[in-house]
């Protein structure tokens, strides 16, 4: 049997509350800055939570022609721009010779909910004959990779993964498999989400899932901290370009990291609560490491899912300790969500970018807003300040409502 092909990351793109380029995003993450503030996209005054991590200064027509931008929900716009950035960064030229072998897989948890909400208002106030003919195609979750593939005229595997907050990791993992198996030569992958709307924020408030620290939004996201009181909702999009390594090296591509493993599982336990035994999370990490052919002791960093919820952070800690044993307490485990909140279906893409840059640049991002020790989360969470470290292997965790678990494994790239 032929060995699986090697897969490398050659391009990155990001539209985030901490910047609308990768370099701006990474600079702010490495500096431990918060992108959380009062909601400005709608009047949130009636809600228990009135803050979020919004993408500031994003003008779609600066990146997308006006006609096309008007046909896209905000989540599609984020995905489209992030994909454009990643492709440009990779310097991968799309030609008639390769366009059939390049695809796009993007994840999104709730897709075009802003369009759904606005068009429902039209229906109630003006009647069905006033609904936009673009309502359905703007709303549906597959339109992000659809619009990307149309714009780029690429014909490889193209779809959306929908597994709640694991969506991006599943998208990246499925793209990895497509390149690894030879189904594609290159894939644009990641995820996007635009959930800062009255119905989405109101729905999470109804679940009591969100932090209510309205007096100090910047410190509201507190993963692993004993005083955490819920997550902070975030919008944005992230994209990576994955390529077969030999071809990428042959064309002189910049390589950020090599992707070496992908593991997934189901908790099969509850709609929204994590399994108290963390069985599914442990299984996904074990499968990811097995797929990558590395041992737990080879891992030098974990980019945690860590949403700043009481049960979730404790469950992930339990799983990490089960998989990594005595080495768990010495293993750096940090939470990007402390800085930009929880981007739901886009979270894994943004955190995947951070994981890849950790490997390339030797900087582990911090978990900010960490002040009070929780004995249920007794890990080295890289509190408050970034840390210089040469990391050879890193994993990125994402877990979603419904019990979906997806783990990505990357390693530092060497030319040999």
Q: Which of 375, 272, 268, 370 is nearest to 317 (CA)?
A: 375
For the chain, count helices (H), then strands (E). 13, 14
Residue 53, strand partner residues: 234
The secondary element (H helix, E strand) that includes residue 283 is helix 279-292
Q: Can you spell out the DSSP letters for 178-247?
A: HHHHTS-SEEEEEEEE---SHHHHHHHHHHT-B---TT-GGG---TT-TT---B-BB-EEEEEEEEEHHH
Here the tokens at position 235 are 């919008």
Active site residue 342: yes
Strand, coil or helix: 59:
coil
How many other β-carbons are positioned within 10 Å of the β-carbon of residue 279? 20
Distance (Å, whole) CA 158 – CA 24: 29
- CA 276 distance to own-chain centroid: 24
b/e for 281-309, b at 16 or more Cβ within 10 A?
bbbbbbbbbebbebebeebbbbbbbbbbb
Strand, coil or helix: 73:
coil
Distance (Å, whole) CA 91 – CA 295: 34
Active site residue 354: no
Q: Are 403 and 276 in contact (CB under 8 A)?
A: no
Q: Can you spell out the DSSP letters for 229-272?
A: --B-BB-EEEEEEEEEHHHHHHTT----EEEEEEEEEE--S-SS
Here the tokens at position 46 are 């009636």
Active site residue 305: yes
Q: In angstroms, how far apart are the furthest CA atoms of the chain?
A: 64
Which of 104, 205, 305, 377 does the annotation list as catalytic?
305
Which of 342, 354, 377, 404 does the annotation list as catalytic?
342
List active site positions.
Answer: 165, 305, 342
């Amino acid at each position: 049997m032929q060995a699986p092909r090697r897969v490398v990351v050659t391009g990155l793109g990001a539209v985030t509350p901490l910047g609308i380029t990768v370099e701006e995003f990474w600079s702010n993450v490495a500096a431990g800055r918060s992108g959380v503030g009062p909601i400005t996209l709608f009047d949130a005054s009636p809600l228990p939570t009135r803050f979020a991590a919004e993408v500031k200064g994003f003008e779609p027509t600066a990146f997308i022609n006006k006609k096309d931008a008007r046909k896209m929900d905000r989540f599609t716009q984020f995905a489209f721009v992030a994909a454009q950035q990643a492709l440009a960064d990779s310097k991968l030229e799309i030609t008639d010779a390769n366009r059939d072998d390049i695809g796009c897989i993007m994840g999104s948890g709730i897709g075009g909910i802003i369009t759904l909400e606005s068009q429902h208002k039209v229906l109630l106030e003006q009647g069905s004959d006033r609904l936009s003919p673009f309502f359905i195609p703007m709303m549906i979750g597959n339109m992000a990779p659809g619009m990307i593939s149309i714009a780029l005229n690429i014909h490889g595997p193209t779809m959306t993964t929908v597994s709640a907050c694991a969506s991006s990791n599943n998208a990246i993992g499925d793209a990895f498999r497509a390149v690894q198996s030879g189904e594609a030569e290159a894939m644009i992958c990641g995820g996007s989400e635009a959930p800062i709307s009255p119905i989405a924020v109101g729905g999470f408030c109804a679940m009591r899932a969100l932090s209510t620290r309205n007096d100090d939004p910047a410190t509201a996201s507190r993963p692993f901290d004993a005083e955490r009181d819920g997550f902070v909702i975030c919008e944005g999009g992230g994209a990576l370009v994955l390529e077969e390594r030999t071809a990428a090296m042959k064309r002189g591509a910049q390589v950020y990291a090599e992707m070496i493993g992908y593991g997934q599982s189901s908790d099969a336990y509850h709609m929204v609560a994590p399994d108290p035994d963390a069985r599914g999370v442990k299984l996904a990490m074990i499968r990811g490491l097995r797929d990558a052919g590395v041992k737990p002791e080879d891992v030098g960093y974990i980019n945690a899912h860590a949403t700043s919820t009481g049960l979730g952070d404790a469950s992930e800690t339990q799983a990490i300790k089960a998989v990594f044993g005595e080495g768990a307490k010495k293993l750096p485990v940090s939470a990007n969500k402390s800085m930009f909140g929880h981007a739901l279906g886009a979270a894994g893409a943004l955190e995947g970018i951070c994981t890849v840059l950790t490997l390339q640049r030797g900087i582990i991002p911090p978990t900010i807003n960490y002040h009070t020790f929780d004995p249920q989360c007794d890990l080295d969470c890289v509190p408050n300040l970034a840390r210089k470290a040469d990391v050879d292997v890193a994993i990125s965790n994402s877990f979603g409502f419904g019990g979906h678990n997806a783990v990505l494994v990357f390693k530092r790239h060497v030319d040999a």
